[in-house]
Structure 1
Amino acid sequence: MSQTDDEEQSGPRQNQGPTDEQAQFFALLEDSAEDLYENAPCGYLSTQLDGLIAKVNTTLLDWLGYRRDDLVGRRHFSDLLTVGGRLYHETHFAPMLRMQGEVSGIALELKDADGSRLPVLVTSTVKTGSDGQPLLVRTTLFDARDRRAYETELLRARQEADRERDRLQTLASTLQKTLLPPALVNVPGLDVSAHYHLASADEVGGDFYDLFRLAAGTWGMFLGDVCGKGAAAAAVTSLARYTLRAAAVYDPDPAAVLGNLNTVLNHEYNGADPRFCTVVFGLLTPDTDRGGFRITLAAGGHPPALLMRADGTADYLPTPGGQLIGVLPDPHIATTTVHLAPGDTLLLHTDGLTEAHTNAGAGDGERYGDDALLDFGRALAPTTASATIRAVRDLLDTFGTGVDDDTAVLAIHAPRTPSEEHQ
């Protein structure tokens, strides 16, 4: 077929008028603007500048249960609002609209014809004339019932989560208290103080300490840290505490006590989930010859104790060769003996103190470290047990969120006698 023949055949089709279907479509388009306004999926209304309703669509009338004549020329937009909504409209909404010419996405509540409430999101714009002067206000309202129901459910779920968290925190706090002695035993001739710092109220920590009487003139003490957190760590903590006390009654030698604890942990937790701890155990007896106390310490992988002397010096006590308790079947455990002279103070601590981060608010911060704690002790000496614990608590508070592990501290001080004070 030639190009001319093709043009001749296509020409008449191009000049034909619209089909019946097209004509119906165009007719629908002509009606769609008014129909879209009246039956839109949102409410429309136009008001005069004083808020008097001038026009309202069918959708909004159906939502509120009003007839058009009930609102147009008779009611102001604020008349449709609840008492709180009218107050907000007069003090915030209307002033912002006058200043900005538009207010978008404001949550309000309308009152329908029977007095019930309809939550809506309101957007209003001021229409101006060619001279820039305001003529009327156009308002679009979106039904927010589904959103309100979602927000209500979300709030309910959040409140329930908060209550559940409070219950868990109470449970964790109660469980934590059962892992610590309700009060330290009174040791004649000693000033003793302790503190437990929780890094998180949501989890049970694994730190523990105790001071208890063994026999006439003999006391035992220990401080330790179980690996991990939560219920599993709490179970190991409880086992460790009672094993240490029982083992000390059987054989109070510090190395033997830690050896017994190691045997128990190694036997109970030697499968796929091994558990271990660091711990220091001490045996205290009065030193009748020199005054003060004789303390024998054994440590299993635990940070060394800090001795702050009456002369203002301070040093770590060496506990060499101490290995983690519960890891090896037969760990090497060494002991050291120290004379706690009148005026001296001994501080035992878990690694949550030295591993805390300074300046945590500015990033991860630097690890506090053993050297800083030694300087802290030297600046504090000579001191007492209660003063030491107060100073440590203040120090932990300065770290804030930098303390990411629980911390237990136990201080023991041998007070001077009145005659020694004047020497």
Structure 2
Amino acid sequence: MCRTGQSPEPGDGQDVDATNTVFTSLLEDSAEELYEQAPCGYLSTLMDGTIAKINSTLLDWLGLERSRVVGRMRFADLLTVGGKLYHETHFAPMLQMKGEVSGVAIDIKAATGRRMPVLVTSKVKTSENDEPLLIRTTVFDARDRRAYETELLRGRQAAEEARRVAEEARRQSEEARQAAEEARRQSEADRVRLQEALAALQQSLLPSQLPEIPGLEADSYYHTASPDLLGGDFYDLFPLDCDRWAFFLGDVCGKGPQAAAVTSLARYTLRAAALHDADPVTALTTLNTVLHERYASGEGRFCTVVFGTLEPGDGHVDVHLASGGHPSALIQRADGSADYLPTPGGLLVGVMPQAPFTAARTRLLPGDTLLLYTDGLTEARIGPDRRLYGDEALRAFTAAQPAQGPKALIAALGGLLDSFGDGLDDDTALLALGVPAPGAPVPLPTTASDHLT
């Protein structure tokens, strides 16, 4: 033991040397053990790559004996084919230029042929004269990292595939949307063309223009419940001879092309019958026979009709009419009253081989107007309870209008029909005939398109 200010006693130097020797040996043993059993691989190679030293950890990874490696193999021999190529083209040149390469990902090859991903760091050990002596290399197990990277890659690929699928779905959805939009546009264009064709056909079933009758004013209105369906309502006003005129207004059961065919047949049959015999009952009887014979063998077709004649006189017009199951005509008088002209007992036209029809007569004086209408008007649904508008409401409405002639009455009724909105779900035809009051302006001719809605 050393004492301060004193020389060592005999024998003290030998004890210190012995202690240092033991300590050095222990350090060497510890360093060697750490080197051999380190969690990462170590190896030292000569400058040509020949392995001079390798630890047990790396040998275990490779599955090789030390005797087969040290002095017999080069570092590049431990690598896979791809690893060798990378070592020759990148790793070795970089190491030669920089003297150190850190964290390079590469694959080594075990004796069984199994690949093992590793991270390699190499550094050139030099002499005091900076002469390269050897290369020390550290090898880290990168299997967990590789698995993590693989999982990340798999996740990225899955995300990319999901994105591609979503993009494809979006593209297909857009194509479907565009196709649907094109189909909608085409459908709308077809619908417009159909409506135009139906409107033209509907107008062909109505008089293009009401004739001018001396001493008489006439006006009409046609409301189409659906622009996509042909209606079965019809009316007409035409001359019989130089002194008399005929008129009719009717409603065919049903809608569509079949109803239009019956409408056309009824219209031209009544015109022909009136020119042969203008008696209203006779004209309706002829129409009944034609419709029954035409449709008796198949699906029955029938209609309701009011047919009449007008004979203007000195300051008045005599009306003679008959009804086949049709709502009674309504007369607005110049004194502000409004009453129905009863025609009871008339049967639907075309139902039976022989049908009774009831005739009636009246006289229109200046300021009086005769109104014919189809049941779309009186059967409209109004109010929160959707009740029928009805005959009495129509009579009251007409009586409340100023007695200013057919045009004024038709205009008021057109506004009434518009007020029903979706409560008016059936076609409605109106025909008004009247004697102008003294001093009333001369009415302009009316065309079918003027009051076709």
Shorter chain as denominator, the TM-score bin is: 0.5 to 0.7
Mapped partners of 1:372, 1:313: distance in 2:
14
Mapped partners of 2:369, 2:169: distance in 1:
71
1:262 paired to 2:283: no
Instruction: Find the partner of 1:35 among 128, 150, 154.
Output: 154
Instruction: Find the partner of 1:326 among 312, 334, 350.
Output: 350
1:380 paired to 2:380: no
Q: Which runs of 5+ in 2 are unaligned?
A: 1-145, 441-453
1:148 Cα offset (Å): 1.0
1:154 paired to 2:183: no
Correspondences of 1:211-290 after superposition (within 5 Å): 211-288=237-314
Equivalent in the alignment of 2:436: 415
Correspondences of 1:305-384 after superposition (within 5 Å): 305-359=329-383, 365-384=386-405
Does the CA-based 8 Å contact 2:405-2:437 persist in structure 1? no
Q: Secondary structure at the residue paired with 1:380?
A: coil
Residues 355 and 28 (structure 1 numbering): CA distance in 2 closer, same or farther, change over 3 Å?
farther
1:265 Cα offset (Å): 0.2
1:34 Cα offset (Å): 4.1
Mapped partners of 1:191, 1:280: distance in 2:
19
Does the CA-based 8 Å contact 1:286-1:292 persist in structure 2? yes
Question: Residue type matched to 1:321 in 2?
Answer: G
CA offsets, 1:350-408, max 9 Å, x none?
0010011114xx5x722111111011111115231000000010001101111111000
Residue identity (%): 49
TM-score (norm 2): 0.62
Correspondences of 1:131-146 after superposition (within 5 Å): 143-146=169-172
Equivalent in the alignment of 1:205: 231
1:36 Cα offset (Å): 2.7
Residues 161 and 186 (structure 1 numbering): CA distance in 2 closer, same or farther, change over 3 Å?
same
1:395 paired to 2:419: no
TM-score (norm 1): 0.66
CA offsets, 1:219-260, max 9 Å, x none?
000000001111110000000000000000000000000000
Question: Residue type matched to 2:330 in 1?
Answer: L
Does the CA-based 8 Å contact 2:404-2:437 persist in structure 1? no
Q: Secondary structure at the residue paired with 1:147?
A: helix
Mapped partners of 2:233, 2:395: distance in 1:
21
Q: Which runs of 5+ in 1 are unaligned?
A: 1-26, 45-58, 60-119, 122-140
Q: Secondary structure at the residue paired with 1:316?
A: strand
Mapped partners of 2:437, 2:327: distance in 1:
28
CA offsets, 1:94-114, max 9 Å, x none?
xxxxxxxxxxxxxxxxxxxxx
CA offsets, 1:251-308, max 9 Å, x none?
00000000000000001011231100000001100233xx310001100000011001
Equivalent in the alignment of 1:186: 212
Question: Residue type matched to 2:311 in 1?
Answer: T
Mapped partners of 2:222, 2:426: distance in 1:
11
Q: Secondary structure at the residue paired with 1:352?
A: coil
Mapped partners of 1:418, 1:174: distance in 2:
38
Q: Secondary structure at the residue paired with 2:420?
A: helix
Q: Secondary structure at the residue paired with 2:394?
A: helix
**C-alpha RMSD over aligned residues:** 2.2
Does the CA-based 8 Å contact 1:195-1:389 persist in structure 2? yes
Does the CA-based 8 Å contact 2:233-2:374 persist in structure 1? yes
Say how many residue pairs are matched.
295
CA offsets, 1:103-148, max 9 Å, x none?
xxxxxxxxxxxxxxxxx97xxxxxxxxxxxxxxxxxxx77511111
Does the CA-based 8 Å contact 1:358-1:399 persist in structure 2? yes
Equivalent in the alignment of 1:66: none
Does the CA-based 8 Å contact 1:314-1:381 persist in structure 2? no
Does the CA-based 8 Å contact 1:313-1:382 persist in structure 2? no
CA offsets, 1:65-110, max 9 Å, x none?
xxxxxxxxxxxxxxxxxxxxxxxxxxxxxxxxxxxxxxxxxxxxxx
Question: Residue type matched to 2:212 in 1?
Answer: N
Mapped partners of 1:29, 1:301: distance in 2:
91
